Amino acid sequence: MLRCLLITSLLFGPLPVSSEPVDVVLEQAKTKYDTANKRAKRFIQATNYNEPLRDTDYSFDFIVVGSGSAGSVIANRLSEKNWTVLLLEVGEEATVLTDIPVMAPLFQFTNLNWNYLMEKQDNMCLGLVDQRMAWPRGRALGGTTIINYMIHVRGNRRDYNRWANMGNPGWSYRDVFQYFIKSEDFLVQRQDPGYHSTGGYLGVQDVPFRTESVHAFVQAAQEAGHQYVDYNGKRQMGVSYVQATTRRGLRSSAEEAFLRPIQHRRNLKILTKSRVTKVLIDPNSRQAYGVQYVKDRKYHTAIASKEVILSAGAFNSPQLLMLSGVGPRQHLEDLAIPVLQDLPVGRKLYDHITFLGLTFTVNQPIVSDQTVIERIDSFLKLVLNGDGPLTSLGGVEALLYFKTNVSTDPAPYPDMELIFISGGMHTDKGQYYRKTFRITDEIYNAVWKPLEDKYAFSVLPMLVHPKSYGHLELKSKNPYQWPKFYGNFFTDPGNYDVKTFIAAIREVQRIVQTPTFQKYGAQQVKTPIPGCEHLRFDSDEYWECALRHVTATLHHQVATCKMGPKTDPEAVVDNELRVYGISNLRVADTSVIPLPLTAHTNVPAYMIGEKAADLINKYWT
């Protein structure tokens, strides 16, 4: 307990005086020591993730590259058998502070993040530093689940049915539903019976801390005609309080859920600080037989007698394939990489983007107040009871899925998600939130700085089915150089993506005009975005300009190692995740998803890991 308090002191600075003397608070805490110790065991548990390989154990049945959502699941499930499994992770074990949900934005400024940037795009990101969008990706044991916002969304059943209908049998909603169920330990109050389970590795729960403003949003959305739903249940269209990948108010990352409970399995070896630089492929047989990796500044080789599984994510799995000679022939030849298999690796990249400029003031203190997290009792609530303001997902409190009036889809299929945040870029006075999105000083000082002493909330619309898509490519054959990322946002013919965003903005405005919000005097902030002052505020032309200034990724990139039938010229892997033309090599992560999902991709990645483990198990038994 004292260590927890020390951590709080290091994090927040000198602790202010509580409503009771500190010695009284500590005495009360000590009486609950046994319970607190169990609930806070992740803060003090030792791990053995970094013990080096012995000379006698460089050969394994399976090698899994990457410990994010999918990789952690695969390592867990395969090591349930008598097989030997090596899991390699370039990052290190995360600090205990990442377990505190409200701290999510801070860790994007650390070495737990790759700190990738998108390449500059004409007429896009005009209000971001250097006109470049941040593309965060986790670089730690647990991957991006260490730094994400813990939003639990499976997606729409039509996503998976369309996935299957693209020539990928086995990936319909009926097929994959069992894997969502298998992973989770679901403890959410308002849920549809038959769509959830308990006892799985992954913690899923309601966020214990809610502001009055989120209750207003949920009620106002219903007044505007949106039904209350369990968006991971029978139907997705509607509004709901957010469901989180947390357990007892703390982050349930891939490491916490799938690796920590089984780290002492004798047939599982987990190595951190181990950077895979190449998949070893026999050039004659085209068979993968191991990997080359760097640890402690030395090159090492690990051999896989059965398979190598790439679960390094939508950026690093395609990077590793191309470094290993699997990718677009011309691109690899230009970089003097010997071509083993000509495949369209990295040639397609879908992403979910959001607009940051919808902020609304209210005349009552119903929104998030970040000063409460500085009190010692807030931390004690988290450790002792698993509740309090520190359990907030960086301010995210509710989601709404709906179909805009510009959608041409005949099905009742959402094309927009609204993310309700009980605060905004101003909440921390510009210290962290806005910097995660790289908003310039000029934009922040004009739009958000005047709100720092006011009550305000935000709604972030997220385009779930973009028509525009980008790509990635290698910068060089040096594995230590970033790939180059091209978003190509708002480049679709017909300007559909922009029109859908504008329709979503109109819907947010309509919701805010309902009686529930108006009793709090909710008003849209009408300060024009610098660079768009010449356009009439609230015109379609103004909103397109604003979109091109302050739009950002929500880091849901997919399709860079696209799944598809052999006849699909964009396909890299088949429906069993096997890389075309290379035996004993699979890719299992969000890079294989062939279309943008109505989801935050963390949970679909867990599903892919569960299904991949089943496919591998059936093949080798």
Catalytic residues: 556, 600
Distance CA 450, CA 266 (A): 58
Please return the burial class of 588, using the count of CB atoms within 10 Å of its CB with bins 0-12, 13-18 and 19+: buried
Distance CA 287, CA 31 (A): 60
The alpha carbon torsion through 546, 550, 554, 557 (nearest 10 deg) reads 80
The amino acid at residue 585 is L
Sole residue written with tokens 């230590």: 480
Exposure string of 286-311, with b = 16+ CB inside 10 Å and e = fewer, is: bebbbbbbbbeeeebebebebbbbbb
102 is an annotated ligand-binding site residue: no
Count of beta carbons in the 10 Å neighbourhood of residue 161:
16
Measure Cα distances from 379 to 5, 25, 49, 249, 394 in Å: 8, 12, 28, 11, 15
371 is an annotated ligand-binding site residue: no
Distance CA 346, CA 559 (A): 8
The alpha carbon torsion through 288, 617, 165, 581 (nearest 10 deg) reads 10
CB contact set of 218 (below 8 Å; sequence gap of 6+): 228, 239, 240, 241, 398
Task: Identify whether the C-beta of residue 136 lies closer than 8 Å to the C-beta of residue 116.
Answer: yes
Closest CA to 616 of 58, 68, 79: 79
Residue 402, phi then psi, degrees to nearest 5: -155, 165
List the binding residues for FAD: 144, 276
Residue numbers in the known binding site are 144, 276
